[in-house]
Amino acid sequence: MTGQNRRVATQVRAVIRRSYDTLAFREQLLHLMARPGRILAPDGSSEWSKLVLTSSRVLGGDSRSAVISAAAVEFIAATVHFIDDLVDDEWDEEAGNPDRGLNASLALNWLAHSCLDDLVDREGLERARLIGNLMAQGILAACAGEDLDLVLETTPCVSEDLALEMTCRKSGSLIAMACQVGAAVATDDPEVLELAGAFGSHVGVVAQLLNDLAGISPDATQRGNDLQRMKKTLPISYALRCAEEEEIVDILSWYHENGARRPLDEERVAALARELGAVHYTSVVADSHRREALATLQRLVQVTGKEQIFQLRRLVPVIRRRI
Structure confidence by residue, pLDDT tens digits, 15-54: 999 998 899 999 999 988 998 889 999 887 789 999 999 9
- Segment 47-80, tens digit of pLDDT: 999 999 999 999 999 999 999 999 999 999 999 8
pLDDT on residue 21 = 86
**Residue 5 binned pLDDT confidence (cut-offs 50, 70, 90):** confident
Cβ neighbors of 257 (< 8 A, separation 6 or more) are: none
Cβ neighbors of 103 (< 8 A, separation 6 or more) are: none
Greatest C-alpha distance within the chain: 63
pLDDT on residue 168 = 95
Q: How many CA atoms lie within 13 A of 268 on its CB side?
A: 13
- Segment 172-225, tens digit of pLDDT: 999 999 999 999 999 999 999 999 999 999 999 999 999 999 989 887 667 777
H or E segment and range at residue 261? none
pLDDT on residue 257 = 64
pLDDT on residue 44 = 73
Q: What are the C-alpha distances in Å from 189 to residues 25, 75, 127, 299, 304?
A: 40, 26, 11, 14, 10
Confidence check: pLDDT of 160 > 90: yes
Mean pLDDT (whole number) for 3-7: 87
Q: What is the mean pLDDT of the chain?
A: 89
pLDDT on residue 153 = 86
**Residue 261 binned pLDDT confidence (cut-offs 50, 70, 90):** low
- Segment 109-118, tens digit of pLDDT: 889 999 999 9
pLDDT on residue 46 = 86
Confidence check: pLDDT of 322 > 60: no
pTM of the model: 0.91
